[in-house]
Chains A and B, each alone.
Chain A
Amino acid sequence: MLADVLRAGVVFFVAVVLQAAIVSAVEPAGGTADLVLVTLTAAALLRGAVFGALAGFYAGFLLDAASLETLGLSSLLLTIAGYWIGRYGETTGRDRAHAPVLAIGVVTVLYALGGLAMHYLVGDPVSARSGLVDALPVEILLNLVLTIPVYALCRRVFARPGSRAAIEVEFGTQ
């Protein structure tokens, strides 16, 4: 349990640092990838809703601190995203190969819409056009490109020991 917490702490800290310093600087066609969201999706799919919600809150808190944005804004969105992806992983998406790609596609759109709504609520002057029309298609594409390597990496870090073997035994008995 403690090892899981430490692992998650380090992984999301690194993801936030990389997002801030490197990934956000690469803007092909006006959009950027969201490494933190992709990492959260992978982790939540592998470890479930509670882990997803907790990791989302922590990652959001770090993001808001690094960007000097309103504290709690990203935490709220990423907590909900982590919980929803975790539930999807626990139920419908379990053991489905396309689950990470599908989850990233959907959650990128929902996260952008949620972000827009939250910025409107807190009174930030934001451009829906630049966020949803210009940047979002590129962001979806970049997030999908990141999904496969990030998911593979997260599987090595977050997968429960023996989980794969258990599935194979179950299939073998049927």
Chain B
Amino acid sequence: MRLAALGSTVQRAATPAYSSSRSANALRRRVVAGVLVALSLVLITGYFRESESGTLHDTQGAVATVLHPFQVGAERIARPFQDAYGWLASFMHAKSENEKLKERLERVQRQASQNITAARENVELRQALRYKSGRSFPRDYDGIAAAVTYHRLNEFQEKIVVAAGRADGVRVNDPVVDSAGHLVGNVSKTSPRSAQVTLLTDGEFSVSAYDVQSETYGLLSHGQGAGESLILDLVSKDKLVQKNDLIFTAGQRSGQLPSLYPKNIEVGIVNRVGRSDIDIYQSIQVEPLADFASLSAVLILVPEDR
């Protein structure tokens, strides 16, 4: 038995023969990792610095095009199972949803009878005044139907990818609705065969919107809270917004900038209105009408005159 003591000479054990190959392996491992990390950083930097027609964007588009048919194929195979999952998930909330829908139906039926007379009167008055209006939804828009090929990119952002891109006439900022015509979001990136859509529930998204019943305008965006609820902001306290009021896109222009969305796309329904003494504006919570959990296809709205 040998004990090590400070100041004494200790004979070192002979270096094993494999130690040089081990250190070479370690060096190779670190070099590979370092090169890949550096390459990733170069990709990130290059991607940011170049325009949408740059080499990296083109490469990304080409790889996305290769992946596209496989994604569409896999999505089609999985569709029946996803439908079954969606049906099961909605079945769990069926009772509470049924009560909400009954309440809404009564309200809508009352409004519908009033609207018929108002619409007829509106047509007559427009003709009499030769009224010129801007683009209106859905008359002046074509809908490009596209399947959802990537449902949720990551846990931090509410974005999806759809199977229609620049080659189909899709451009950045085009509005996106679901099959029932409810606003889903807008196009945030495009490639030749696919497009990224930022959902209403993403922190990046906001749209000018109005309450049909009280004719109150505000800015709709996702609040700080969790879930899918939206906040209709900048609504002063003197406006009478009520629970179950419908919220539509306002289609307003601000200065020289045109609105990205045509007027009168259904967005959501008010589910809570709060007023506090310290806030200048009301706190209006809006539930989106689009069902993001079972979104399998969307319509991208493209102006007819583009």
A→B interface (CB under 8 Å): 13, 16-18, 20-22, 24-28, 30-32, 49-50, 53-54, 56-57, 60-62, 64-73, 75-76, 79-80, 83, 112, 115-116, 119, 122, 124-136, 139
With contacts A22-B82, A24-B152, A49-B29 taken as known, whether A80 is within 8 angstroms of B67 at the C-beta atoms is no
Q: How far is the CB of B164 from chain A (nearest CB, A)?
A: 13
**A49, A73, A79, A127: residue with the most chain B Cβ atoms closer than 10 Å:** A127
Residue from B78, B89, B153 within 8 A of A67 (CB atoms) = B153
Determine whether the beta carbon of A125 is less than 8 Å from that of B203.
yes
A61 to B293, CA, bound (A): 27
Residues in B whose Cβ lies below 8 Å from that of A83: 29, 33
Determine whether the beta carbon of B41 is less than 8 Å from that of A64.
no
A25 to B152, CA, bound (A): 7
**B56, B71, B224, B227: residue with the most chain A Cβ atoms closer than 10 Å:** B71
Q: How many A-B residue pairs have CB under 8 A?
A: 171
A135 to B155, CA, bound (A): 6
A30 to B154, CA, bound (A): 11
Determine whether the beta carbon of B43 is less than 8 Å from that of A71.
yes
A28 to B82, CA, bound (A): 12
- Nearest residue in B to A19 (C-beta to C-beta)? B150
- Nearest residue in A to B189 (C-beta to C-beta)? A68
Determine whether the beta carbon of A67 is less than 8 Å from that of B150.
yes
Determine whether the beta carbon of A130 is less than 8 Å from that of B156.
yes
Determine whether the beta carbon of B60 is less than 8 Å from that of A64.
yes
Residues in A whose Cβ lies below 8 Å from that of B157: 119, 124, 126
Q: How far is the CB of B52 from chain A (nearest CB, A)?
A: 11
A93 to B36, CA, bound (A): 24
Determine whether the beta carbon of B156 is less than 8 Å from that of A131.
yes
